[in-house]
Chains A and B, each alone.
Chain A
């Protein structure tokens, strides 16, 4: 158990819908990272927040957005969902914003029908 929690564990929804994935980092960690993992694309970095502020952006679509709240939990919002958005979404946390160990949560499996 990494100490990072993600909810929900599974999510099944339809195309065009909007969903919110939630992540609580390990106690004391200030950075939260979001990743998308699919069979054909592998593990793709989406976005990083540090202490409430966006720090780095990866291959995140405009239909996706994220935020980190004052209590340091983070939410990833996915809208206008497409079939290709079906994937495992991982959240990871680390103590700092620099080169640091990232502890991954168990992931949310999103299925878009």
Chain B
């Protein structure tokens, strides 16, 4: 049930754009995006819910395609501070009320000057 992230790693120059994808084999209820810098805790970026719209803040936005069971994270005009590992976490559609977030293996983003 672990979502698959692609690419595994990406290197950018400051100001360039990047897209990180997150795919699931199961129907998704929600997708969560987090960024983790080396040696630090994951930091929340955004949640996308089933039936919801594309979300964004600053120059980072994301979309959720329920039919494809896929989410994409868009980073535009990247800054040095965007460097880190990006994780998507997925909550699948299930009959129960238990809430469980399953994370992908992460995408390492490096932004160089």
Give the interface of A toward B (CB within 8 A): 2, 33, 42-45, 48, 55-58, 90, 97-107
Q: Which residues of the partner chain A approach B30 to less than 8 Å between Cβ atoms? A: 99
Given contacts A55-B99, A98-B99, contact A103 B104 (CB under 8 A): no
How many CB-defined contacts (below 8 Å) exist between A and B? 56
Interface size on B, residues (CB 8 A): 24
Q: Using CB atoms, name the residue of chain B closest to A40.
A: B105
Assess the A104–B49 pair: CB atoms within 8 A. no
A42 with B99: in contact, given A99-B29, A99-B91, A104-B41 (CB under 8 Å)?
no
Q: Are A106 and B40 in contact (CB under 8 A)?
A: yes
Interface CB pairs A-B, < 8 A, 20: A42-B87, A42-B103, A43-B42, A45-B100, A45-B103, A48-B99, A48-B100, A55-B98, A56-B99, A90-B41, A90-B42, A99-B29, A99-B30, A99-B99, A103-B44, A104-B41, A104-B42, A104-B43, A105-B41, A107-B41
**Most chain A beta-carbon neighbours within 10 Å: one of B32, B42, B43, B105:** B42
In the bound complex, what is the Cα–Cα distance between A62 and B100 (angstroms)?
A: 18
**A44: chain B residues within 8 A (beta carbon):** 103
A71 to B47, CA, bound (A): 28
Name which of A42, A90, A97, A100 has the most chain B CB atoms within 10 A of its CB: A42
Residues of chain B contacted by A33 (CB below 8 angstroms): 101
With beta carbons under 8 angstroms apart, the residue of A2, A56, A100, A103 that contacts B100 is: A56
Q: Which residues of A contact B44 (CB under 8 A)?
A: 101-104
Given A42-B105, A99-B29, verify A2-B41 contact (CB < 8 Å): yes
